[in-house]
Amino acid sequence: MSARAGVPPRGVALRLRGRVLAADRPAVMAVVNRTPDSFYPEARAADDDAALAAVARAVADGADLVDIGGVRAGRGPDVDVQEEIDRVVPLVGRVRRAFPDLPISVDTWRSDVAQAVALAGADLLNDTWAGHDPSLVGVAAAHGLGVVCSHTGGLVPRTDPLRPQYPLPDEPEPADALDGVLVDVLATLSLAAGRAVAAGVDPQSVLVDPTHDFGKTTWHSLHLTRRTTELVVLGFPVLMALSRKDFVGESLDLPVDERLEGTLAATAVAAWQGASVFRAHDVRATRRLVEMIAVLRGDRPPARAVRGLA
């Protein structure tokens, strides 16, 4: 569909092992954490039974794919490779058997874990630590999986930012003082996505994620949300992981369990600008929001339109 006046271009559809998502609206990626210490307590699953039940609820609420994680993103107790494998591999296998057609993403930065989950039936590797393990993209290519390319400002896994700075480039001069982070994110994601494609990953299976909060201040994350269109122009499906994050909480001065409305507002802004996938704790609300945005954009018709016609 061609761009309409005042409507940004549609985002790129995501393809995972032959399944195409987000053809006429963004896809919703449900968060299922096989961890006891995730920052949002409602997303924690202490065992495989609880995690599988969480997947079933997400599917019933309209999730297009699930993202399974075995290690808290932030600081916390050490989780070695074998423990991460023990947490996520059996669950991936159970989810694959219970939901044969459901795309499965695994949130890991480790190539050893990536290899194990690929054999268990995963479809996507969500590398939130920006290629810290350079072998991970090769695992994705070897098994026909997708991969998420992220931006952390150079941080190593499980570390928090401390006064991150992104200086303005000399040429050309950006119009906004915060454009330094945008320039850095665009350059980093473009390079990482190019490497993934060169390694053999399907371009439509390479997602780019500005990675809100990681290596960023709240001002940085807000600015990147406003400039989503420039991420879409890179030509890859854009993943937005906005759900209940600190930039939402700090913007509204709210704790993690009261950040739904702020998350949905940020989601609406990014969806209007063409982001393709949204990682979400609140699947039903996010699903309804992205479908409404798709209707408002003109990407899909209303589910029912009889008012004034009958």
> What are the pLDDT digits (tens) for 78-131?
999 999 999 999 999 999 999 999 999 999 999 999 999 999 999 999 999 999
pLDDT digits (tens, 9 = 90+) for 188-227: 999 999 999 999 999 999 999 999 999 999 999 999 999 9
- DSSP 8-state class, residue 29: E
Q: Given a cut of 90, is residue 37 above it in pLDDT?
A: no
Sequence-separated (6 or more) residues with CB below 8 Å from residue 16: 65, 103, 123, 124, 145, 146, 205
Q: What span, in angstroms and rounded, lies between the C-alpha atoms of 199 and 184?
A: 23
Q: Tell me how many helices (H) and strands (E) the chain has.
A: 10, 10
Say yes or no to pLDDT of 3 above 70: no
Supply 54's token pair. 């969480």
- Residues 139 and 119: their CA atoms lie apart, in Å, by 10
CA distance 9 to 2: 8
Q: Indicate if the pLDDT at residue 174 is higher than 70.
A: no
Residue 2 has pLDDT above 60, yes or no: no
| Tokens, residue 91 | 């669950």
Rounded distance between C-alpha atoms, residue 162 and residue 8, angstroms? 34
Question: pTM, whole model, 2 decimals?
Answer: 0.95
| Topology adopted by domain 14-297 | TIM Barrel (3.20.20)
Residue with tokens 């210490």: 37
Distance of CA 15 to the CA centre of its chain: 14
- What is the three-class DSSP state of 160? coil
Tokens for 114, please give them: 């990536």
User: Mean pLDDT across the stretch 260-285?
Assistant: 98
Domain-wise residue ranges, the chain = 14-297
Give me the mean pLDDT over the 240-252 stretch.
98
Residue among 289, 279, 287, 181 nearest 227 (CA): 181
Q: Which residue carries 């039940």 as its tokens?
A: 53
N residues, the chain:
310
156 — phi, psi (to 5°)?
Answer: -85, 160
Is residue 23 predicted with pLDDT exceeding 90?
no
